[in-house]
Amino acid sequence: MREVAERAGVSVTTVSHVINGTRPVSAHLSQRVKAAMEELGYQPNQLARSLRVGTTHTIGLILPDSANPFFAEIARGIEDAGFARGYSVIIGNTDNNPAKERLYVNVLLEKQVDGFIFVSAGESTHAISALLARQKPFVIVDRMIPQVEVDSVVTDNTRGGELATAHLLDLGHRRIGCITGPSGLSSSVDRLNGYRRALEVYDLPVDESIIVRGDFHYRGGYTAARRLLESADPPTAIFALNDLMAIGALAAAHQLGLRVPEDLSVVGFDDIELASYMAPPLTTVAQSKHQMGKLATQLLLERLQDRSLPPRARILDVSLVVRRSTAPPRDA
């Protein structure tokens, strides 16, 4: 700043006022300062300026798997909403690893982000506890954390699981396999509860032998589907608790020589963009992913403005998107 002041023939204080807009400066002097800055290649220290005013206009976004299109679409909603309000987003990918999650939270705290939007890696509350201890505003998205009352945006996952299963039941399927997500994740638990509830409504027993643990990834869906389809009494339909696992199930069926939906019906959950381009296009439960991201950002920015607001929970509705991966069973 001293060099800029010398080049422009003004005081350092005048340069500071031009950069920070803290006091009116004549157009003539302002132009001289800006010209000197350009000639010298001077860039103001944005972090130092942000720390002086107590805000960095950055949001820390913690995701379990940024390669998953579902989370990528949520992140885009957050970025779009944040950018419109002058905020940048810094993403930390945890790979569903609580230790990595804690590390990223600490790194982003050191970078003085204004607040966090958080998709938990599991039931662990260590990272959440760190945010609470620092009184750092944050919003939980997609996965609820037990016994933590904070702002949250989730989908009606139980309803979604019920819709998917009821669709298969209405088509005439009675032996419906279910590929679940990782244990302990509220989204997985709630979708499985919806599956169970639909069977109960139809007065059908729950066969635990055709409920197989998955991991919300392609490979997990593929492996679980192979296990179901190679069993002595395979299901005529599979409900996978996310689209990536459903796509893995489609691959498993193809490798085993099964036609979808003639020999096997498959339903997913999320309605990622890829779902409509599969062969056949995937029937799935649609979530408003971009809207989830926008709403989470809105809640966080409101929280930054008023820390006294009570915790707010937003539960978004779901809908069933019927495509060509489901049909009545052959013997119906």
In CATH, the number for domain 157-287 is 3.40.50.2300
User: CA 128, 126, 160 angle in degrees (round to 5)?
Assistant: 60
Residue ranges of domains in the chain? 2-44, 54-155+289-317, 157-287
CA of residue 317 relative to chain centroid, distance:
16
pLDDT band at 56 (very low <50, low <70, confident <90, very high): confident
Q: What 3-state DSSP class applies to 181? A: coil
User: In whole angstroms, how far apart are CA 283 and each of 190, 236, 289?
Assistant: 19, 15, 17
Cβ neighbourhood burial of 230 (10 Å; 0-12, 13-18, 19+) = exposed
Q: Tell me the pTM.
A: 0.84
pLDDT for 133: 82
3-state helix vs strand vs coil in the chain, percent to 5: 45, 15, 35
- Looking at 3.40.50.261, 3.30.70.3270, 3.40.50.2300, 3.10.100.10, the CATH number of the domain 54-155+289-317 comes to 3.40.50.2300
pLDDT for 129: 80
pLDDT for 149: 84
Asked if residues 76 and 69 have their Cβ atoms less than 8 Å apart, the reply is no
pLDDT at 44 over 80: no
Please report where in the chains the tokens 């056949």 appear, as a residue: 280
What is the per-residue pLDDT across 121-172, written as a single tens digit (0 to 9) for each? 766 677 778 888 888 999 999 988 777 789 999 999 999 999 999 999 999 9
- Mean pLDDT, to the nearest integer, of 185-200? 96
pLDDT for 267: 98
What is the per-residue pLDDT across 7-31, written as a single tens digit (0 to 9) for each? 889 898 898 888 777 788 888 888 9
What is the per-residue pLDDT across 274-293, written as a single tens digit (0 to 9) for each? 999 999 999 999 999 999 99
Same fold, 54-155+289-317 and 157-287: yes
Q: Return the amino acid letter for 8.
A: A
In CATH, the number for domain 2-44 is 1.10.260.40
